[in-house]
Amino acid sequence: MKDDFAQELLEWDEHRFQKHSIQGRLRRARSLLRRKKIPETACELDRNVDALAARLGFGNIEQKIIHLAALVDEYPILGIFFEDTDDWNTHQNHTRIAIALDLDPSRILQALGPREGLRSSGLLKHLERDGFGLMPGLATALLQEQTDETQLFSGLFQSLPPSAFNLADFPHLQAHSRILTRLLTGAQQDQTQGVHILLHGAPGTGKTAYARALAAAMEWCVVEVRHEDAKQEPLEGNTRFQAFALCQQALAKQSQTLILFDEVEDVFGEPHPWFPLPPRHKAWTNHLLEQAKVPTVWITNRIDSIDPAYRRRFLYTLEFRNPPKRVRQKMLDAQMQSVELPEGQTARWAERSDLSPGRIQQASKIATLCRPESATESAELIEHIWSLHQSAQIPDAWTVFDPTLIESDTDLNSVLSSLQKHQNATLLFHGPSGTGKTAFARHLADRLGKTLYTRSPSDLLSKYVGGNEQNLAAAFREALGEILFLDEVDSFLQERAHAQHPWEISMVNELLQRMESFAGILILATNLPETLDRAIYRRMDLSIGFQPLGKAKRQYLWQQLLKVLEIPDASDYEQKIAGLAHLVPADLARVIRRHRFQPFREGKDLWQFLEQSETQRRRGALQEVGFTAHLTC
């Protein structure tokens, strides 16, 4: 204790200060408070403490302790006697509070028991660790005039307004919505404790919007545990968890209420030596979670940041990914209603698998505020916004797929019809570069209304031990229920008998295990099918070969190019085109790109360009990566 400061506050000299015991000093402090009529807001404090106690079900002893704690936090004349408590034991803490309140220490000991309301509600600080006082911000609220009791908690938790979204905006989560609605309804009817739901996924994927939409569909109130106080200062993890405990107790008797706790890693994060979290007793935390009377939705961007000891406490866990194309289209149409755009623009944007609900909403808001002068300017502005956070999943261009430009050993229309009926399948696409493997995968995603997740060897291979398997597992997890396209698999799925490194064997083993349990459409693409491990073939539902264009399709491609490029009749070259045996659909994209910068004026120029490409391909010098191009310039 800082004796000099205490002497000054008590208006005593050193002799009188040393003469009196702690009990005498506390009585002097209380006398000075009464004589000086401090605090001036005593009436407000009394009313607010009465309201708080009534809401939380506290008795007279608890009210007095809260009253004292508020004064200790706000006024140094009392607070000085509860500082520097590191050397105090539990009995001394309770005795000092009892002296200040003129109460029997045993009654204080009972009221401050670990399972009693004052401690379990999070109202008080951790007595042995943080000293005597209320959780941050509460003392100030108690000393101010409040219109109703909910204002006492406004710096810690708050009711949220109705959501701008509804469950119809999340049709891809319909099955989960049905289960969660019944789960929450049953929990309320049976008054079941410990109902916790975890929503996790990348930022902007709609986790918070979905939680609020779920509550709105059930006509429930949503109360959010705040991440900043009334002064807009950030709340630390321990304080937020105290706020959650208080919220649970304050709303315990209120039906049809859902608590929302965002940024879960603040309180459940797994500690690391380089980033120590504030100490907390796991037993107390687990007890609070088990006894929670109000269902709670917890939200995090990274589930792996949550300590496994807490992760198992969640009753239902749901991962959020970017929505499939049909949902993106609906969200784009809804969010861009007030933005003037070129015809068909939202349909083209819906092809982008990287677009999350958050990014769509952000772009709409910026475009509305910037007030572009034309539809074209609006589109350019939004594309600029999205380009700032470009994703590897975005193709360079989008194509209107023309199945007549694919040469295959399988009826592709039949494949599409089968996948529309049976959307769990494993396919192998094999053939030379540029023959349309990637383009057909995009076509399938478009027609099936699914998101295409593309992964190349550079996305999967890691220099760290175990990194390959982790990356592969993450790819399967992210594409669950959608389409996963693994390109150039011959780079890492070669015959295990010929493996030169242990990771080559473990990579094949990991893929085989994932293939067995994957719920979705898996497509493996390769230029060298003969090098793949034989076990891969045993797990394939269908192997589709892609080849260079046949004679008829080469002539069709020539006719389409002349039409699109507006080149005069060049029928003299039609027979020559038929002789280019290595012409592939990717040549379409190469022609379009070249035409943008150096237009073709005559059939002769176009013919020479294609002949040169053919020659280079025969020599193995031209490595195509697929074709994606518009048929319009």
The kind and range of the H/E element at 320 are strand 316-320
Using the structure block, give the residue that is written with the tokens 């009926």: 421
| Domain final residue, candidates 104, 133, 149 | 149
- Give 509 or 114, the one with higher predicted confidence: 509
| Calpha distance 324→480 (Å, rounded) | 11
In the numeric block, which tokens belong to residue 583?
């012409």
Residue 98 contacts residue 85 (beta carbons within 8 Å): no
| Calpha distance 585→599 (Å, rounded) | 20
- Residue 336: the pLDDT is 93
Count of other CB atoms within 10 angstroms of residue 50: 14
| Calpha distance 551→613 (Å, rounded) | 17
Which of the four pLDDT bands, split at 50, 70 and 90, describes residue 90?
A: low
Domains in the chain: how many in total? 5
In the numeric block, which tokens belong to residue 38?
């401090």
Which of the four pLDDT bands, split at 50, 70 and 90, describes residue 2?
A: very low
Residues 179, 125: one domain?
no
Query: How is the beta sheet containing 296-300 ordered, strand by strand?
Result: 157-159, 221-225, 257-261, 296-300, 196-201, 316-320
Give Cβ neighbours of residue 343 (< 8 Å, ≥ 6 apart): none
Give which of 486, 485, 481 is closest to 520, Cα–Cα: 481
| Calpha distance 114→121 (Å, rounded) | 10
Q: Decide if pLDDT at 395 tops 50.
A: no
| Calpha distance 383→206 (Å, rounded) | 21
Average pLDDT over residues 378-399: 66
Residues 339, 289: one domain?
no
Average pLDDT over residues 259-280: 62
- Residue 230: the pLDDT is 65
393 inside domain: no
Give which of 425, 488, 502 is closest to 623, Cα–Cα: 488
Distances 286 to 120, 199, 538 between C-alpha atoms, Å: 12, 19, 47
- Residue 77: the pLDDT is 58
- Give 520 or 468, the one with higher predicted confidence: 520
Q: Residue 292: which CATH number?
A: 3.40.50.300
Residue 83 DSSP one-character state: S
Q: Decide if pLDDT at 615 tops 50.
A: yes
| Calpha distance 47→147 (Å, rounded) | 11
Q: Tell me the pLDDT tens digit for each residue of 404-435.
A: 889 999 999 999 999 999 889 999 999 998 89
Give which of 249, 233, 235, 241 is closest to 293, Cα–Cα: 249
Residues 191, 297: one domain?
yes
| Calpha distance 559→385 (Å, rounded) | 39
Burial 478-512 (b: 16+ CB within 10 A, else e): bbebbbbbbbbbbbbbbeeeeeeeebbebbbebbe
Residues 471, 528: one domain?
yes
- Residue 564: the pLDDT is 79
- Residue 370: the pLDDT is 94
Q: Provide the percentage of residues in the chain whose pLDDT is more than 70.
A: 83
Residues 493, 616: one domain?
no
- Residue 562: the pLDDT is 84
Residue 258 contacts residue 211 (beta carbons within 8 Å): yes
Which of the four pLDDT bands, split at 50, 70 and 90, describes residue 396?
A: very low
| Calpha distance 126→133 (Å, rounded) | 9
| SS3 of residue 548 by DSSP | coil
398 inside domain: no
Range in 36-50, 153-167, 376-390, 421-435 the model is least confident about = 36-50
- Indicate the pTM of the whole model: 0.66
Average pLDDT over residues 298-312: 84
Residues 601, 492: one domain?
no
Burial 537-554 (b: 16+ CB within 10 A, else e): eeebeebbebbbbeeebb
396 inside domain: no
Cα-flanking dihedrals φ and ψ of residue 618, to 5°?
A: -65, -35
| Calpha distance 614→491 (Å, rounded) | 26
Give which of 452, 507, 508 is closest to 481, Cα–Cα: 452
- Give 432 or 121, the one with higher predicted confidence: 432
Residue 219 DSSP one-character state: T
632 inside domain: no
| Calpha distance 558→294 (Å, rounded) | 68
- Residue 394: the pLDDT is 38
Q: Which residue range(s) make up the domain with 476? A: 403-547
Residue 251 contacts residue 259 (beta carbons within 8 Å): yes
The kind and range of the H/E element at 360 are helix 357-370
- Residue 340: the pLDDT is 94
- Residue 633: the pLDDT is 35
Average pLDDT over residues 360-364: 91
Q: Tell me the pLDDT tens digit for each residue of 533-556.
A: 888 888 899 999 999 999 888 888
Residues 563, 542: one domain?
no
* Mean per-residue pLDDT of the chain: 81
Residues 21, 73: one domain?
yes
Residues 110, 208: one domain?
no
Which of the four pLDDT bands, split at 50, 70 and 90, describes residue 581?
A: confident
Which of the four pLDDT bands, split at 50, 70 and 90, describes residue 619?
A: confident
Q: Tell me the pLDDT tens digit for each residue of 5-19.
A: 455 555 565 556 556
Residues 68, 93: one domain?
yes
431 inside domain: yes
| Calpha distance 244→226 (Å, rounded) | 9
The kind and range of the H/E element at 222 are strand 221-225
Q: Which of 242-246, 380-384, 385-389, 580-584 has the highest average model confidence (pLDDT)? A: 380-384
Residue 329 contacts residue 230 (beta carbons within 8 Å): no
Q: Decide if pLDDT at 599 tops 90.
A: no
- Residue 477: the pLDDT is 86
Q: Tell me the pLDDT tens digit for each residue of 165-221.
A: 889 989 889 989 999 999 999 999 999 999 999 999 888 889 999 999 999 999 999
Q: Provide the percentage of residues in the chain whose pLDDT is more than 90.
A: 26
Q: Which residues pair with 544 in a beta bridge?
A: 429
Q: Using only C-alpha atoms, what is the Rg of the chain?
A: 34
117 inside domain: yes
In the numeric block, which tokens belong to residue 24?
């005498």
Residue 29 contacts residue 9 (beta carbons within 8 Å): yes
| SS3 of residue 541 by DSSP | coil
Cα-flanking dihedrals φ and ψ of residue 547, to 5°?
A: -125, 165
116 inside domain: yes
479 inside domain: yes
Which of the four pLDDT bands, split at 50, 70 and 90, describes residue 275?
A: very low
In the numeric block, which tokens belong to residue 46?
């009394």
Residues 518, 561: one domain?
no
Residues 301, 333: one domain?
no
Burial 216-251 (b: 16+ CB within 10 A, else e): beeebebbbbbbebeeeeebebbbbbbbbbbbbbbb
